[in-house]
Amino acid sequence: MSFRLPAAVHLAAALVAAGAPPLTAQQPGDTVRLREIVVTATRLPTPLASTASAVTVLTGDELRERGIATVAEALRGVPGADVVETGPFGGTTSLFLRGGESDFVRILVDGVPLNAPGGGMDLATLATADVARIEIVRGPGSVLYGSDAVTGVVQVFTRSGRGALEWETGAQGGTFRSRSYEARVASESGRAGFSLGWSHFADGGIYAFNNQYRNDVFGGSLTLLADARTSARLSARYTDAVYHYPTDGLGAVVYRNQYQTGRGVVASLDAGRFLTPRLEGRLLLAATEGSGRVDQEPNAPSDTLGYYAFRSFDRLSRRSADARLNLHAAAGTVLTAGAALETEAERSSTLSLSQFGPSPGSLAVDRWNRAYYVQALSEPGRRLALNAGVRMERNQAFGTFFTYRAGAAYRLKATTLRATLGSAFKEPSFFENYATGYVTGNPALKPERATSWDAGVERELLGGRLVLSATWFAQRFRNLIQFTFAPPSPGSPNYYNVAAANASGLELAARVAAARALSVTAQYTYTRTVAADSGFDGAAFAQGQHLLRRPAHAGSVAATARLGSRGRASLSAYWVGDRADEDFSGATPARVTLPAYLRLDLAGDVELIRGRSAAPGVTATLKVENVLDERYQQVLHFPSRRRAVFVGVRLESGR
């Protein structure tokens, strides 16, 4: 590199490193991009062909064209990903990646973790309106990201300004009394660019009463190029959601005054400067502040028997600073050394009202974490790419912990071979460590641990129009935290590091571009999960049996076609095989099997008026979810949405 390179070149490199999509990602094509520059796998802009990890890239433009409004829905078509939702819009939504637990995936927005301390994450409110692209890295990511990145990392990059001032706005309505609105304005010129956006979604739910949902998201970014060597990107996102739900933990529709709220801010500053032509310094400052409330008021004035009301409030915060140096030692070789400091805090209170009197509880805890990591990337030849890294974690709660990762990619003309090996960990949640009252936490808990490996092959055929890939993976989870209703002695904790599980499987994917107007992507995943040690009798980990809510077989197909010069249509099919769940409605928990299901979604749009410099373009949109009106459950006793139709209109500034 040279300080004399044009400023535009440095800006492009800085935007990629800070999360802005490369221009090639904005061109029409498949949702799953196999030829792409990716950032999340190495925290450096790296060609996907030189990345050892299994990575899937989803572009925001293609997701919106397919009518996909949430990140959770986008992830349904990713190999190895199982998304589980409790029925209506706004219901708790979990991600199981490669058979791991739902808190084993680190979720990032512009580098900021959304996970609660200990890994928990509800994807229900994460919308795609301001998404530029999503990168999904499968496999351990603790070397670069620390806790939670056990089975993978999902990073959402928000949109930046591109060129002259542009704006867009849209509205949509349909089944379940749903309605959504969004607006965005953005621009980029010279050394600065900005983007501001807002989206609103609301609906009436699928139950007869008390099932309203509302979600508002405000977001923006500011990108600055101080000079040819220095760049910075500031981004922020605010979410405000309210979800009313009449169901209890068994899915019974009984509560008329129960609801939960969630509000949160995530913000990041990612800045970098080339100190010399070969040495780059980068600093990422990140903050997450969130609050949530659960309020279960009495159903009526006469509701005064048993435990008739419950209220809780919690506030979570994560703040971190991550500084690293990237030394471009030689052509194709980059050495990274970094240090990170993070603080986590939770303040919560609960109140149960019953005929026996009120039962209050509270929790006020915090902890810090320091980490040091190194990574080496090298391409000793035109065909071979190598990476290796190690991290030392020093946590106030559980002490020192080491993780490692290594991988290789080898390219032979139209074939690429990949392999990785690594370890990862997840810290306990605050509740598992410090809970009091009906449940007693265990301050002596150790991190949950995992070791994993994968090996894959990718082959291009028909001049690159057809791409096939296969990846085999295997993982061992140890020190899993298990809950018991019957601790060894009175006053003993309810949580212990006792359980163990294994997961392995095969991910198959295909992408075909039959013509400029048609593309098809498909994926199938076989996952074998088994509990190696249940820890306690009656635990969720039943020794020798499959893990809950993780199907052995799952797959999807997405086809996108351009209809003339002004129309587009897409058809998405999601098939999920049988999977185990647990029924707690009887005297003792009973394991049950949820049947397989197939869901078809149809989406399309047509350009009614083509935008001109003096007039906006107008596009009509249509989406039909669950076209076949399939009846199915992703969680036992919580029926999923039936057929739904959504119609809308979108206006865009002329070009």
Mean pLDDT of 505-524: 92
The string of pLDDT tens digits covering residues 571-625 is 999 999 999 999 988 888 899 999 999 999 999 999 999 988 778 999 999 999 9
Q: According to DSSP H, which parts of 403-510 are helical?
A: 430-434
Helix (H) or strand (E) holding 459: strand 448-461
The string of pLDDT tens digits covering residues 576-589 is 999 999 998 888 88
Domain 7-652 belongs to what topology?
A: Maltoporin; Chain A (2.40.170)
Scan for tokens 């933990």, then name that residue.
249
pLDDT at 235 over 80: yes
Q: What is the pLDDT of residue 34?
A: 42
Dihedrals phi, psi of 16, to nearest 5 degrees? -60, -45
35 confidence band (pLDDT: 50, 70, 90): low
Mean pLDDT of 4-20: 36
Q: What is the pLDDT of residue 331?
A: 79
d(CA 334, CA 323): 16
Model confidence, pTM: 0.93
The string of pLDDT tens digits covering residues 321-341 is 999 999 999 878 999 999 999
CB proximity list for 343: less than 8 A, separation 6 or greater: 317, 318, 319, 320, 366, 367, 368, 369
Long-range CB pairs of 435-439 (<8 Å, 24+ gap) are: 435/363, 435/494, 435/495, 436/361, 436/363, 437/350, 437/359, 437/361, 439/483, 439/494
The residue that leads in pLDDT, 18 or 448, is: 448
Per-position b or e across 447-461, b if 16+ CB within 10 A of its CB: bbbbbbbbbbebebe
Beta bridge partners of 107: 154
- By the 8 A CB rule, do 233 and 226 touch? no
Mean pLDDT of 537-566: 90
- By the 8 A CB rule, do 494 and 483 touch? yes
Say how many C-beta atoms besides its own lie within 10 A of residue 202's C-beta. Answer: 19
Q: What is the pLDDT of residue 516?
A: 72
Q: What is the pLDDT of residue 535?
A: 81
d(CA 602, CA 504): 33
- By the 8 A CB rule, do 348 and 314 touch? yes
Say how many C-beta atoms besides its own lie within 10 A of residue 250's C-beta. Answer: 12
How much is the mean pLDDT over the chain? 91
End-to-end CA distance of the chain: 35
The string of pLDDT tens digits covering residues 402-456 is 999 999 999 998 999 999 999 999 999 999 999 988 889 999 999 999 999 999 9
pLDDT at 498 over 80: yes
Mean pLDDT of 22-50: 66
Say how many C-beta atoms besides its own lie within 10 A of residue 106's C-beta. Answer: 28
- By the 8 A CB rule, do 419 and 52 touch? yes
Cα-trace Rg, the chain = 25
29 confidence band (pLDDT: 50, 70, 90): very low
pLDDT at 22 over 50: no
Q: Per-domain residue ranges for the chain? A: 7-652
